[in-house]
Amino acid sequence: MAGSLNKVILIGNVGRDPEIRTTQDGREIASFSLATSDAWRDKGSGEKKEKVEWHKVVIFQPHLVGVVRNYVHKGSKIYLEGSLQTRKWTDPNGVEKYTTEVILQPYSGALLLLDARSNDESSFDEARSSASSSTQEERSKPYQVEEIDDDEIPF
């Protein structure tokens, strides 16, 4: 199908500490659950409502697995870009099951840490600047945030 796109962008909180596994050929894979939520006020009752969605995330990109291992834990707020992948598997009882996951493959996808929970700010900045799927040259540049005043905004 020409013109199709499989891209997922999520901002949410990690639901459990990530699990790092090693494949038979020595590659590391990180996996964790990510919660996203939508909140609204019920028009009829005025009651605040919230719906939480849970997403399974699997990271195959070696550099990002290292970032996850060192900086991501239960409760971390993250931004990620990946693609959806559904796989079929058979449970121990012989029943075929399907699961859909957000996948971050090598050379595609991105992961940004959105909250600083570490006292070592330089390590956090290093992880943040290198977490995206940018080139090595871009990764070597330091991560900087510039403050601007309202009167400097061009609109």
Q: Over its length of 155 residues, how does the chain's per-residue pLDDT go in tens digits?
A: 578 999 999 999 999 999 999 999 999 999 999 999 999 999 999 999 999 999 999 999 999 999 999 999 999 999 999 999 999 989 999 999 999 999 999 888 899 999 865 444 444 444 444 444 444 444 433 333 334 444 444 43
Q: What is the pLDDT of residue 3?
A: 86
Domain, as residue range, for 119: 8-41+48-141
pLDDT of residue 115: 86
Contact 29/58 with Cβ under 8 angstroms?
yes
Instruction: Tell whether 25 is covered by a domain.
Output: yes
Q: Beta-carbon neighbour count of residue 30 at 10 Å?
A: 23
146 domain-assigned: no
SS3 content of the chain, % helix, strand, coil (to 5): 20, 40, 40
Task: Assess if residue 147 is contained within a domain.
Answer: no
Domain count, the chain: 1
